[in-house]
Amino acid sequence: MTTETILKSHPAAGADVSDLAAVIDDIAACVQACTVCADACLHEDSVDHLRKCIRTDLDCADVCNATLRVLSRQGSGDPEILAALLSACIAACEACGAECESHADMHEHCRACAEACRRCAASCRRLLETLG
C-alpha cells in the first residue's frame, strides 16, 4: 500500500494528494534515516567525534516526526502552525544534513542521512512556498 492510497481515502483529500504523499514519504524517510544514523554513530569507534551528529539526528527525527503527523491530518488544519512547523523542519534538516555531510566520507550512514535530510528540506520548502 502506498502513502498516496491511504491519503486519497480521506474525505477531505485534495487534488494535490500525490504531491502531499511525496512530501510525506520524504519526511518519513528522513525520520528513519536520522533514527538509524544516531544509533549507527553510537556504535562507531569514533563515537567521541560523532556526539554532535547524534544530537542533530535526534533533534531532526523529532521535528520531522511532528511535521509528518500534523501534515498527515488533511482536514482543515491551521496554515500558520503548518508553516512554522515546516520552517522548523527545514532548519532541523539543514543542520543535520550539514553535520552528517561532514562525516560522509567516513560513514555511509552519515552520507545516506545527509541525502535524506537534503531531500526532506527541499520537499518541505516547496510545500511551504505553496502555503503563501
The binding site for a copy of itself (CB under 8 A) comprises 1, 3, 5-12, 24, 28-29, 32-33, 35-37, 39-40, 42-44, 47-48, 51-52, 54-56, 58-59, 62-63, 65-66, 69-70, 72-78, 80-81, 84-85, 87-88, 90-92, 95, 107-109, 111-113, 115-116, 119
Task: Kindly state the cell numbers that stand for 105.
Answer: 566520507
CB nearer to a copy of itself: pick between 9 and 130: 9
- DSSP assignments along 30-60, one per residue: HHHHHHHHHHHHHHSTTGGG-HHHHHHHHHH
CB under 8 Å to 79, separation ≥6 — which residues?
A: 131
Q: How far is the CB of 102 from a copy of itself (least distance, A)?
A: 14
7 sits in which H/E element: helix 3-8
CA pair distance 92, 108, nearest whole angstrom: 20
Q: How far is the CB of 121 from a copy of itself (least distance, A)?
A: 12
CB nearer to a copy of itself: pick between 10 and 125: 10
